[in-house]
Structure 1
Amino acid sequence: MQVIDLNTWPRAIHYHFFKRMDYAHYLICSNVNVTNFLAKCREKNIPFYYAMIYAATFALNEVEAFKYRIRQENVVLHEKINPSFTAMQHGTDLFKMVTVDMTSGLEEFVEKAKQKTEEQQEYFVKSDVEGRDDLIYITCIPWVSFTNLSHTISFNKEDSVPRLAWGKYFRENGKTLLPFSVEAHHSFVDGIHMGQYFTCLQEYLDDFK
C-alpha cells in the first residue's frame, strides 16, 4: 500500500473537487458479452458466478484508478483489491457476505470461494472486513436482466469502495449478454477509467480458454 503525496499528485485537484460533494459516487450500466466465457465455464464445469467474480476483480486490478481509497485526510493506493461478494445461504432466501482474497489463477480462486461460501454460517463476518478498504463489493441479481441499478450506501465521505453488480444473462443476435454495473467514487474514477475497465473485462472474457 502506498500513501499518496497530495502536493505532487496530478489528480489532487479533481480529488478535492469531488470529495466536497455530498454524494460523489456514480454508476454506469452496460451489457458485456459472455458468450465465450460462459461456454468455457460450462465446458470446464466451473460455476459461472465464482468465475465472474474472479474475472470482474481481475479486470478491476488492472485499472489503477479503482485501487485508490480515502482514509481521513489521506489517499492510499492498494497493490491488490479483493472481492467481498453476496452468496445465498443454503436452505433460505437470505444472503451472506463472503470475502475471499484474490489468487493468481481463476480455478484456484473458484475453489477457495466455493469452500469459504460453504463453510461460512454467519451472514456478515465482521472480522473479514473490519478496518479493510482493499475490497470491491460485488453482488448478483440472476433473476433480472436489469438496465439500471442503485446500491444502498451510507453518506460517509470516506467510503470510496467501488461496487459491482450483474444480472440475468440473455441471448441477443447470437450473443449471450450480461447486464453489468459499476459504481465508483468520482474523486478517483472518471468516465475514461470506466471505459478502460469495461474494455479490460471484455478482453478477459473473450480471451478465456
Structure 2
Amino acid sequence: MKKVKFDSEHRKKHFAFFNHMNHPHFNITANVDVTNLLQHIKSQQLPMTFSIVYVLSRVANEIQEFRWRIRGNDVIEHNAVHPSFTVATDKADVFSFCTVPYQLDSKGFIVDASRINEAMKTNPSIEDEPGRDDYLFMSPIPWISFTGIQHAMHYHPHDSVPRITWGKFFTQNQRSLMPLSVQAHHALVDGRHMGAYFNYIEEICVNPVLFLS
C-alpha cells in the first residue's frame, strides 16, 4: 500500500471537485458478450459464479484507479483488492458476504472461493472487517437482465469502494450477453478508466482460455 500524489494541478482540481459532492459515485451499465466465456466455463466444468468473480476481480486489479481508496484527505493505492460478493445462506432468504483473497492464479482463487462459500452457508456475515477498504463489493442478480441498478451505501461520509454487479444472461442474435454494472467514486475513477475496465472484460470474454487456464 502507498499514498497517491497527484502531480497535475488539473488532476488535483478534478479530485477535489468530485470529492466534495454529496453523491460522488457514478454508474455505467452495459451488456457484455460472454458467449466464449460461458462456453469455456462449461467445457472446463468450472463453477460459474466463482469464475465470473475471478474475471471481474482480475480486471479491477489490473487498473490502478480501481485499487485507489480515499482515507481522510489522502488517497492510497492497495497492492491488491479483494472481492466481497453476495452468496446464498442456509440461515435466511437474504445474502451473506463472501470475501475471498484475490490471487492471479484462477484455479487457486476458485478453490478458496468454494471453501469460503461453504463456510458462509452456515455462518453468514454481513459486516465488513473494521478498518478495511481493500474490497470490491460484488453482487450477482441472476433473476433479472437489468438495464440499471442503484446501490445502498453510506454517503456521510461516503466510501470509495467500487460496486460491481452482473445479471441474468440472455440471448441476442445467437450470442450470450450479460448485463454488467460498474459503480465507482468519480474523484478516483473517470470515464477513461471505466472504459478500460469494460474493454478488458471484453478481451477476456473473447479469449477466456488465456485467462482461465
TM over 0.5: same fold? yes
Cα deviation digits, residues 159-197 of structure 1 (max 9, x gap): 000000011001111110000000000001111111100
- 1:131 maps to which residue? 131
SS across alignment from 2:176: strand
Unpaired stretches in structure 1, ≥5 consecutive residues: none
Amino acid at match of 1:41: I
In the alignment of these two chains, the number of paired residues is 207
Q: Is the 8 A contact 2:59 2:201 kept in 1?
A: yes
Cα deviation digits, residues 91-111 of structure 1 (max 9, x gap): 742210010101121121111
Instruction: Give the Å deviation of 1:131.
Output: 1.1
- 1:122 maps to which residue? 123
Cα deviation digits, residues 15-47 of structure 1 (max 9, x gap): 111111011001000011110111111111111
Q: Is the 8 A contact 1:70 1:158 kept in 2?
A: no
Amino acid at match of 1:53: V
TM-score, with length taken from structure 2 = 0.92
Instruction: Give the Å deviation of 1:130.
Output: 1.9
* Matching of residue 152 in structure 1 with residue 152 in structure 2: yes
Unpaired stretches in structure 2, ≥5 consecutive residues: none
Larger deviation, residues 9-18 vs 183-192? 9-18
Residues in 2 aligned to 1:52 and 1:184: alpha-carbon distance in whole angstroms: 19
Residues in 2 aligned to 1:203 and 1:91: alpha-carbon distance in whole angstroms: 38
Matches within 5 A, 1:82-93: 82-90=82-90, 92-93=92-93
Instruction: Give the Å deviation of 1:9.
Output: 5.2
Residues in 1 aligned to 2:157 and 2:18: alpha-carbon distance in whole angstroms: 10
Instruction: Give the Å deviation of 1:85.
Output: 0.4
Instruction: Give the Å deviation of 1:79.
Output: 1.4
Matches within 5 A, 1:162-173: 162-173=162-173
- 1:185 maps to which residue? 185
Residues in 2 aligned to 1:190 and 1:104: alpha-carbon distance in whole angstroms: 25
- 1:26 maps to which residue? 26
Instruction: Give the Å deviation of 1:67.
Output: 1.2
Q: Is the 8 A contact 1:19 1:157 kept in 2?
A: no
Residues in 2 aligned to 1:205 and 1:156: alpha-carbon distance in whole angstroms: 37
Q: Is the 8 A contact 2:91 2:124 kept in 1?
A: no
Matches within 5 A, 1:1-209: 1-6=1-6, 8=7, 11-90=11-90, 92-120=92-120, 121-124=122-125, 126=127, 129-209=129-209
RMSD: 1.5
Residues in 2 aligned to 1:91 and 1:170: alpha-carbon distance in whole angstroms: 30
Identical amino acids, percent of aligned pairs: 35
Q: Is the 8 A contact 2:2 2:77 kept in 1?
A: yes
Residues in 2 aligned to 1:52 and 1:94: alpha-carbon distance in whole angstroms: 21
SS across alignment from 1:138: strand
Q: 1:109/1:3 Cα in 2 relative to 1: closer, same or farther (>3 Å)? A: same
Q: Is the 8 A contact 1:23 1:157 kept in 2?
A: no
Cα deviation digits, residues 131-167 of structure 1 (max 9, x gap): 1111100001101000111100111345000000011
Amino acid at match of 1:193: H
Instruction: Give the Å deviation of 1:76.
Output: 0.3
TM-score, with length taken from structure 1 = 0.94
Q: Is the 8 A contact 1:82 1:135 kept in 2?
A: yes
